[in-house]
Structure 1
């Protein structure tokens, strides 16, 4: 009888989250179409080209704003750069973002990003890495933020904020 009870006790527990498939929502989108859809910023091309493509079309800044697109440069194995959309400004050097494909095939919401630049200008960032539940160790060079032409609805950008 004891053996049966012990055997059933594992049925009510869920396995620990392991691997990247345990985080975020599944997607086939890369960061570019996702950032474009969420932010309303109508640029195309690889992520690293957005900063220059935005010149004269959108306001560019070194200060975050809700709805703005953070543009990461090409760095290491990230040869196409990366885009993330700001969903919340936590502090002068911390924001949260929503992004696609930071973890391959996933959309993540509420992911912390920290400014680690020497001049506090968001030209160097570190990104939270969900599988380790810690701030990632890599410092990524960033061009800055491309601002949307219209204010963004935070609840639309970050569905999980409405539940907080």
Structure 2
């Protein structure tokens, strides 16, 4: 069910994360962490439905965002995201491991489809943006709130039921 929106277009990570998480932030992924300040709770604890905000790097200049579809342990999550290892496509239940020296989710390794394993690169992250733990001052969501919430619920439910064989499932 969650694959239906993915097949409709070439997905960028920020557009897809907004659609499935309910977090109404626009713009490149590298702006999400700053834009979330005062609008959404942010932190270093993985939670289902939260968006992991990657910092920009030399190779990933506009950062990346991905929704947590399952928390496996305090150092491992499964992500649902777009435009990572398959341009424009959605990947569900993709492993991400906290490899930070202080166990604080400041650096991660993420499953990379072409190699069929965790990638060799380590990525810096800002932390998690929580869709369901917004401060009282959060502005009203746009007219797509009900649709976005429904998509997020479908994506989370589908990810919870999907097998993690090899850690990767692609939506067409």
Structure 2 spans left out of the alignment, 5+ residues: 1-5, 134-148, 164-172
Deviations 1:117-158 (A, max 9, x none): 0111100000011221111110100000000036x8665335
Distance across 1 between alignment mates of 2:115 and 2:68: 22
Q: State the match for 1:88 in structure 2.
A: 70
Structure 1 segment 57-72 matched on structure 2, within 5 A: 57-72=39-54
Quote the offset at 1:163 in angstroms. Answer: 4.5
Q: Residues 127 and 163 (structure 1 numbering): CA distance in 2 closer, same or farther, change over 3 Å?
A: closer
Which of the numbers 119, 127, 131 marks the counterpart of 2:110? 127
Structure 1: which 4+ aligned runs deviate by more than 2 Å?
152-164
Which of the numbers 32, 49, 53 marks the counterpart of 1:50? 32
Distance across 1 between alignment mates of 2:110 and 2:97: 6
- 1:128–1:134: 8 Å Cα contact kept in structure 2? yes
Count, aligned residues:
140
Structure showing greater Rg: 1
Structure 1 spans left out of the alignment, 5+ residues: 1-24
TM-score by length of 2: 0.75
TM-score by length of 1: 0.79
Deviations 1:20-52 (A, max 9, x none): xxxxx6641100110001000001111011101
Which of the numbers 80, 100, 111 marks the counterpart of 2:82? 100
Distance across 2 between alignment mates of 1:68 and 1:53: 15
